Structure 1
Amino acid sequence: MLTCKTYDLAGAMDAIAPAMGEQNVIIPVLNGVRHIDVLTERFGAGRVLGGLTVINAALMPDGTIQQSQVRVNITAIGELDGRSSSRCTAIKTALEAGGIPVQVTDNVLMMMWEKFFGFACSATIASLSRSRAGVIARASDGASFVSAVIAECTRVVTAVGYPPLPAFNTAGEISALFSQPDSAYGPFMLIDMEDGRPTEGEHTIGDLAECAGRLGVSAPLLTASRCNLQTYEINRCPKT
């Protein structure tokens, strides 16, 4: 199961390549979707499953992992082509024996895009404002800013072919998340920025901004967020 930060995906692939036998399969539970194409190109479509996990956790400065006040706890896997398979059932059984509840879905790509949509909204809001949810909620333009980001991300993922599903109500949850004046919530991308660590900006916000460009969808907020993240990385590691 591939859980590394996506900015080191190439290194992770090199590390696991010697262990990839005929019966081995990779289950990435990374943010975004770009890694699916990268992994299938390297290892073949038959060696890669779709996967996602939603736990809202962040790496703390002391190295501990802390789960945020937003508790979702969803893990899902599935074949990229939607078919049923014995290997998904076997993996589910093995993970649940270790205390990890897992869904096997016939539409894992849809679920990955739904997660990506929510992640992109939260990360764009937080990275542009460099603020936690409660601060944004208290800003006079906070609610309209949050709505504008959600609308823009909705237009992009809909153009890609994966519109947000009403059953998940991801947009409503994001709006509610950033409307609580006392909330200290911040997506882990913001926490990485606060602590001076590298981010997954290019793999996530950058990828969605590129999708918008290819499809002719205006996405000024995603573009601004991507630029913000790029300049953060430049300032974080200035040339000597």
Structure 2
Amino acid sequence: MRILVVGAGATGGFFGARLHEAGRDVTFLVRPARAEVLRRRGLRITGVGPDTVVTPNLVTASEVDGPYDLVLLTVKATALTPALQDLKPAVGTRTTIVPFLNGMAHMDTLNDAYGREVVLGGVVRVITTLSDDGDIVQLAPLADIAVGEQDGARSERVERVAAVLGGAGFDFAVSGDILTAMWHKWIFISTLGALNTLARGSVGEAVAVPGGADLGARIAAEGAAVAAAAGHPVPQSTLDGVVAFTSRPGSTDTASLYRDLVAGRATEVEQILGDLTARASASGVATPLLDLATLQLRIHENRRAE
């Protein structure tokens, strides 16, 4: 199975490298500047466990030579529109697209562009970032992928995807309700991102000051209410896990949303928090803490645009 990984950043680069190491036929679709870095340094993963360096197969948009069997879409939501243009030649009649973007809005975009019969749902969990040299730094051992048909069916193509993604150096599962799994991840990342943004610090820094210990729980409750209104209620055990993660004393954990904010980069505010709060408003669900975090990040984006 020919696999095209769209993007070789902190997420796509990590999982693509693991697939490459496992002997899968992997090519990365990247921008010219990223291609130059990877050709010069290799695709490097540091942090947890031994350092890894692989020599990846790379193409830029003008070099895509025809359809691939599986497209793993790993760009940030802010880069989705140009990525869809770049990967057009890679999508044929037998191509399956699995997106690993945050939020849910991208599913509507992909379904409109290619049809639900081409697009699987996907959830990826990994805590990584890019170093100044362009290397992938894994910050914690967590690394897993779940995929599934949007209607929950156990289809033949899901089995084909499972055969190539399974056993490749990370945990993998097929979900019978992938859209709900995507919603639950959305609630987790929005909770962590909003907490970091409002506290202007890590989980541990928030927990260490008066009034910070229950901030994660209060934000998570707002997100869970939105998910329930959308028909994807968060089980208590899952919600307890989100609260535990966002209330650990001494934790240095931060969301990529917050790391982008601190670095002065563009953030996924609209895809992660803006869309969530808009759905909350449409459903009559009050989300004052999520609204405030969204406002702060929008001010950041306006300042960047000036």
Q: What TM-score results when the alignment is normalised by the length of structure 1? A: 0.92
Cα deviation, residue 45, structure 1: 1.1
**Stretches of structure 1 lacking an aligned partner (at least 5 in a row):** none
| Letter paired with 2:291 | T
Aligned to 2:258: 190
1:35 counterpart (106, 113, 121): 106
1:105-148 alpha-carbon deviations (Å, 9 max, x no partner): 22111111111111111111111222111110111000232222
Q: Does 1:201 align with 2:272?
A: no
Aligned residue for 2:286, secondary structure, equals coil
Contact 1:61 1:195 in 2 (8 A): no
1: CA distance, partners of 2:80 / 2:130: 18
CA contact (8 A) 1:118 1:170 kept: no
Alpha-carbon distance in 2 for matches of 1:129, 1:98 = 38
Is 1:230 the equivalent of 2:293?
Answer: no
2:116 to 31, 39, 45: 45
Q: Secondary structure at the match of 2:124?
A: strand
Q: Is the 8 A contact 2:226 2:279 kept in 1?
A: yes
1:16 and 2:84 are equivalent in the alignment: no
CA drift at 1:7: 0.4
Which residue number corresponds to residue 214 of structure 2? 144
Q: How does 1:104-183 map to 2 (within 5 A)?
A: 104-166=174-236, 169-183=237-251
* CA distance in structure 1 between the partners assigned to 2:242 and 2:171 by the alignment: 24
Normalising by structure 2, we get a TM-score of: 0.73
Structure ranking higher in helix proportion: 1
SS at match of 1:228: helix
**In structure 2, what is the Cα distance between the partners aligned to 1:95 and 1:144?**
38
What's the CA shift for 1:172?
A: 2.2
Counting only pairs closer than 5 Å after superposition, residues 214-229 of structure 1 correspond to structure 2 as 214-229=282-297
The total of aligned residue pairs comes to 235
How far apart are residue 97 of structure 1 and its match? 5.3
Paired with 1:74 and 1:176, the residues of 2 have a C-alpha distance of: 20
- Pairwise mapping of residues 79-118 of structure 1 onto structure 2 (< 5 A)? 79-96=149-166, 98-118=168-188
> Greater relative contact order: 1 or 2 (C-alpha under 8 angstroms, separation 6 or more)?
1
* Matching residue's letter, 2:192: S
The Cα shift of 1:67 comes to: 2.4
Q: What is the identity, as a one-letter code, of the residue corresponding to 2:198?
A: L
Q: How far, CA to CA, are the matches of 2:168 and 2:245 in structure 1?
A: 31
Distance 2:240 2:131 in 1: 28
Report the Cα distance in structure 2 between the residues aligned to 1:144 and 1:102, rounded to whole angstroms: 32
**Equivalence for 2:139:** 68
CA contact (8 A) 1:136 1:178 kept: no
Q: CA RMSD in A?
A: 1.6
**What are the ranges of 5 or more consecutive residues in structure 2 without an aligned counterpart?**
1-71
C-alpha distance in structure 1 between counterparts of 2:80 and 2:98, whole Å: 13
Letter of the 1:181 partner, please give it: P
Offset of 1:15 from its aligned partner? 0.8
Change (3 A) 1:25 1:144: same
CA contact (8 A) 2:202 2:252 kept: yes
**SS at structure 2 position matched to 1:72:** strand
Alpha-carbon distance in structure 2 between the residues aligned to 1:39 and 1:5: 14
Distance 2:249 2:234 in 1: 26
- Mapped contact 1:50–1:77 kept (Cα < 8 A): yes
